[in-house]
Structure 1
Amino acid sequence: MIKNILRIFLIIIPLFAEIDEDLQIFLGADALSNAEFKKARGIYADLYEKTKNIYYARELAIIDAGNGDLGSALQFALLYQNTTKDTKDLPTSKIIADSYIKKGEIQKAIILLESIIQQEESPMLDNILGTLYLNQKQLHKALVLLEKYYEFSNDEEALKKILAIHFTRNENHKVVERLQKFFENNWCSDDFCSKSIEIFKQFDKNDIANKIFKKHYEENPNIKNAKYYLQVLMNQEKFDKAEEIVKLYPFDDVLLLDLFVAQNKFKEASEQARKIYKQKNEAKFLAWSAIYYYQYHTNINKEDLQKVINDLNQAIEYRKVQREINRENANNEDAYFYNFLGYMLVEYNLDIMRGIELIKNALEIAPNAIAYIDSLAWGYYKLGDCSQAQNTFSNIPREQVGQDKELKKHFELIKKCYR
């Protein structure tokens, strides 16, 4: 009797174990379907620990990848593939390919993704593999997959990559054609609108840009569309029409400043820059106001010259304070201010030594700027240091000298300097 009872228990216990495992699998799948990833992971980790069934390692790889724990996901994916030799398993292969990409092992990622894409039609994979081909300059392969993905998604980022391929191949007409086709049935993000306008300008297709952005502005007259239309009008130098548009909307004052500068209306630009300086308390606008004031006065008198120098000095010192507060490095705009003031101090014999120091500050920021090298050479010339002037000016390529009236004038004078 006892033996019979033991025999029955020996039969029933494995059945209970199987039922419990099936129940845990059901609970794990249910947790996943309800996006309870932490709970699901706990269940599958427990199952793997108890059974060492390699298929639970596969589930753990997928769950960890979904949770963003890519290190653990990769570990389980490799464990699964190395144990089963199933190197064509899609979920774990994707995890391994993703790891290759993140580690910069692009060629390994490409080989693996080429295998995956043979098994699974996926627009997302087309985009990823196409982008990797582009990264490796395999332009034909990249174009085929990116075109396929773009046809599916109509995604701007994919179109940017397609345009980049045409740029690289010098297929400029295709760039313009693709943009025209895009604008027939789509509208653009802020970034892509601005980039498209610049591309049309670069290829001397402002007329096409005007047709596109004027039509859209007239159909949807709002400040954003007016801004794009303005950009096109300024590229076409249709300033009267641009000013009409500006007056209709509460545009940022900087846009109006740009419009004045584009028309060489330096008196209005100086006043506008000073107005912005008073509103925003940004020193750079005080500097620009002084520079435009100088450019407006073709025959500047001593009093006005001193006003320009005072404003530039104040702006430069204030900029230093603002950079320290914001923990910013000097930028190319600062370099321009340093050189402008430095050159004025040199040119008008007001303080040549300080002018040279300011120009050197500009060159620390932009060491290859030809205008600043010329300013420094001119400073040495004015100081009577012919050797330094000639050595400094020799850093300017000779072909550049012939293309610029001011450079040519300085070159001739410095060449004859023998003091």
Structure 2
Amino acid sequence: MFKSALLTGTLLLILTGCSLKEPTLSPQTKAFDEEDAYTLFALDAEAHGQYATAAQLYAVLYEKAPRIPYRDHFFENLLHAKQYDDVLENTASFREREGFDAQVERYRIRALIGKGEMKAAEVAALALLEQTKAKQDYIGVSEIYAQQKQYNTALRYLESAYDIDYDEMVLDRMAVILYVNLDRQKDAIAQLETHIRLNGCSERICKRLAGLYSEQNNIEGMLGTYLRLYSNYPSKDVADAIVRIYSYQNDMVPLKHFLEQHHTDDALLLKLYINAKEYAAASELAESLYKENGDANYLGQSAIFAFEGAEDKRDPKLVAETVEKLKTAVKSEKDALMLNYLGYLLIDNDVDPEAGIGYVKAALQQEPASPFYLDSLAWGYYKLGRCSEADATMKKALKAMGGETDPELEKHVKAIAECLKRQRKTTQGK
């Protein structure tokens, strides 16, 4: 029935006795014993890019079992193999036997395009469109004009195709031609925005629109599009894009609201709570993160933020709970900040200053020049009555501060100075 360049002699398969106008074969009925085997070989050849071989096998299949899928696979494989002359010969033969068939004519047009015979393809495509008025044929004509760089004409045919059912793939092509080929950026964006208002924000169209806004560096347009896209198609990539835009604009409040609503990046949300000194929210989120992944660092942060947000920081129950959580945290997470915080709690609240000094020294092993950790150590010595050591350590802290200070440190400096005075008086009195 079909002739392939690989088929010669008696295997040309141009048989006049086989016609699709005969009764259609049932899909469940085998036309010949080897039909399944031939089909598997043909599919395997297609999968491995052996298109000429696949075309030959489908020619045999269509000769013996005239099913439309075999016919279509035959032409598709010839086109993939760039055997355009064979396509033209076989489509002509088919038309002589079977009469006009729109799909077979489309294969002929694609072969003409493949051979570079654009004018002949244009004439054939326009004639086909006149008969079918089908969306795919409007698109086909448009592609021929686009290849000839007649973009305004190509756009008109795409618009006709789009008017049939508002196909977003057609709209996408229209937007590209408008934006890239016709330099009509505003019109491209307006087309996409109008479609989204009327038909919703599909993934394809919203990503295209966001891309065009990005080309124009229109940050607000990008953000609005990504927010609409995320509401319909939530994904990490889109969420990350939204976070980047909010961060770039330094819009921390809407960023925080977005993260609170969708929880796409709780680690970042935790940082925002900390920066805003929303300690209760930070503590709750850190505890949730600890339960979720078992990271002891989050347990420690939860304890610290709960303590920082408390009204009565001298409440023995609060201090005890914070100490226990921090002890658990520092067993596996030797974080300097948590070690110092735990140590200072033990020291300042007279729970166990000796143990507190041990934790502070562990923090100083990591950051030996930290003025805050040195201050904690000095305060520990003070609590134990070791005023000279407290004074010497505090001087190191002040030096590390570089002349700066804070109310807590100043209070410690005064207390240690008073301790030294009392110690001298005691010594002189003896």
Measured against the shorter chain, the TM-score band is 0.3 to 0.5
TM-score, structure 1 as length reference: 0.44
TM-score, structure 2 as length reference: 0.42
